[in-house]
Amino acid sequence: MKKPYTFSSTIVVYGGVATWRFLGLPTKMAKEIKETYGKQARGWRSLPVTVTIGATTWDTSIFPDNKAGTYLLPLKASVRKAEAITDKDTVSCTISIR
């Protein structure tokens, strides 16, 4: 079983035609994940993950953010609704690379 990573992060809102919400992984954690799993990257250098926030668990991918030196975890509207997450929240979650 692959090592789970637990962290807390404040919601990052990216606007545009569609507004997206992400959590940024801590940079030290992102560096470790890239060094350990980077060769498994898929399109856009994404890595498949299983995420748990509160009582909600789902599969998605994390995407590299070269500008910030981290990975971004997208937060679907259904997850935000189920866990009552708002744009100003700091969220704790656990991810495992699949």
Where residue 27 sits, what CATH number does that domain have? 2.40.30.100
Confidence band, pLDDT 50/70/90 cuts, at residue 70: very high
Query: Mean pLDDT across the stretch 62-77?
Result: 95
Domains in the chain, number: 1
Q: Is the pLDDT of residue 50 over 90?
A: yes
Three-state secondary structure along the chain? CCCEEEEEEEEEEECCCCCEEEEECCHHHHHHHHHHHHHHCCHHHCEEEEEEECCEEEEEEEEEECCCCEEEEECCHHHHHHCCCCCCCEEEEEEEEC
Range of the domain at 75: 4-97
Q: Is the pLDDT of residue 17 over 70?
A: no
